[in-house]
Homo-oligomer: A and B are copies of this chain.
Amino acid sequence: MKDVAVIGVGMTQFGELWGKSIKDIFVEAALKAIENANVDHIDSMYVGSMSSGLFVGQEHLGAVMADYLGVSPIPATRVESACASGGIAFRQAYLEVASGASEIVLAGGVEKMTDGADVTEALATAADQEYEVYQGVTFPGLYAMIANAHMYQYKTTREQIAAVAVKNHKNGVNNPNAQFRGEISIDKVLNSTLVADPLRLLDCSPVSDGGAAVILCSMDIAKKFTKNPVRIKASAQASDTIALHSRKSFTTLNSVTAAAQKAYKIAGISPKDVNFAEVHDCFTIAEIVVSEDLGFFEKGCGGSAAEEGLTSLESGKIPINTSGGLKSKGHPVGATGVAQVIECYEQLTGQAGKRQVKNAKIGLTQNMGGSGASCVINILEAL
């Protein structure tokens, strides 16, 4: 396999983008990435989107976006893996460049969630339609079961879970593209509206519009475009049962542990070599479980780690979600995995401003779909 680099990135503001269509959003992000990467063409492109059919009545998104971006007749492929669609678009672009089939490939993700669809119903199509959704459970409900199990098994407290939201909002203040740029307190989380016991409104990532794109190329030509290419050290993907009830444990996500083991092996590193990570905090409890399953903390210690600030930017043993995470930055589901790579790229090239992790050499992104039925992990390295 050929060595592959990220050489440029671009994203839109995340939030309620009433004045922009799904096409406007994707094209804005893609043009920014193309300009940022200094490339004069792309050979191929991928579009990650979870459910443009249900959200805005438009499938065939690869061709649609290639057309509106003005790059036809290049190959343009949409990939979908629920909320991991963006991370998997990135991985497919990586595989295409690594195979030698293409030299310069765009990986983008987009979602337009605020245009009138029943968002909860559309998102629920990421769960098992027959055995979960028809019984009335939604994603807040599924993650609430995970939270309850974690609190029972490991004595994780409500305050510890809330600490994740507080930290991510603090980080998001310094991210100009974040949807919510205001700090919140533990009390504010604990007193926000109950959504699915024990999860409250401020434990949940928001409904968002947004797009993100990155440009990948083979490492042997990367220096033609930028002084600071970022190397893709590993990209690994795994799956798990679609339904939560089919799993032996609610407190560990097998797709995360499987993808992590593979990614660490390919990269030849261990969790302690990772300087920072962007993880999939669709709900606060998810960040806690994932920070354990990635090997950053012992199983059951993710809650206390968050509370003690071990994942904060300042004191951080391992800063997590310096971008603000899904919680504060926003979660346009198809774009999220690509936006994680963008934060990684900005950190590794020293462009993260007030969010900058000191001496950042190796970053990890973890993006998952549903209640963890799919997961993709990328490890990136500064050269």
Q: Which A positions have Cβ atoms within 8 angstroms of B?
A: 1, 21, 44, 50-51, 53-54, 56-64, 66-67, 71-82, 88, 92, 95-96, 98-101, 122, 125-130, 133, 236-243, 246, 254-255, 258-259, 369-370, 373-374
Q: Do residues B66 and A239 form an inter-chain contact, with CB atoms below 8 A?
A: yes
Q: Quick one: closest B residue to A22, CB to CB?
A: B129
Measured between C-beta atoms, what is the minimum distance from A25 to chain B in Å?
14
Q: Do residues B98 and A80 form an inter-chain contact, with CB atoms below 8 A?
A: no
Cα distance A328–B67 in the bound complex, in angstroms: 32
Q: Do residues B370 and A129 form an inter-chain contact, with CB atoms below 8 A?
A: no
Most buried by B among A54, A66, A80: A80
* Chain B residues, CB < 8 A from A71: 239
Q: Do residues B99 and A60 form an inter-chain contact, with CB atoms below 8 A?
A: no
When all copies of this chain in the complex are counted, the total is 2
Measured between C-beta atoms, what is the minimum distance from A334 to chain B in Å?
11
Q: Do residues A370 and B63 form an inter-chain contact, with CB atoms below 8 A?
A: yes
* Chain B residues, CB < 8 A from A254: 72-73
Among B66, B98, B100, contact of A101 (Cβ-Cβ < 8 Å): B98
Q: Quick one: closest B residue to A59, CB to CB?
A: B125
Measured between C-beta atoms, what is the minimum distance from A92 to chain B in Å?
6
Q: Do residues A80 and B59 form an inter-chain contact, with CB atoms below 8 A?
A: yes
Q: Quick one: closest B residue to A370, CB to CB?
A: B60
Q: Do residues A133 and B57 form an inter-chain contact, with CB atoms below 8 A?
A: yes
Among B50, B88, B101, B128, contact of A77 (Cβ-Cβ < 8 Å): B88
Measured between C-beta atoms, what is the minimum distance from A338 to chain B in Å?
15
Q: Quick one: closest B residue to A99, CB to CB?
A: B99
Q: A59-B82, A99-B1 are in contact. Are A240 and B130 (CB under 8 A)?
A: no
Cα distance A186–B191 in the bound complex, in angstroms: 73
Cα distance A72–B133 in the bound complex, in angstroms: 21
Q: Do residues B67 and A373 form an inter-chain contact, with CB atoms below 8 A?
A: yes
Q: Do residues A81 and B67 form an inter-chain contact, with CB atoms below 8 A?
A: no
Q: Do residues B373 and A241 form an inter-chain contact, with CB atoms below 8 A?
A: no
Q: Do residues B133 and A64 form an inter-chain contact, with CB atoms below 8 A?
A: no
Cα distance A70–B328 in the bound complex, in angstroms: 37
Q: Do residues A73 and B242 form an inter-chain contact, with CB atoms below 8 A?
A: no
Q: Do residues A240 and B67 form an inter-chain contact, with CB atoms below 8 A?
A: yes
Q: Do residues A67 and B241 form an inter-chain contact, with CB atoms below 8 A?
A: yes
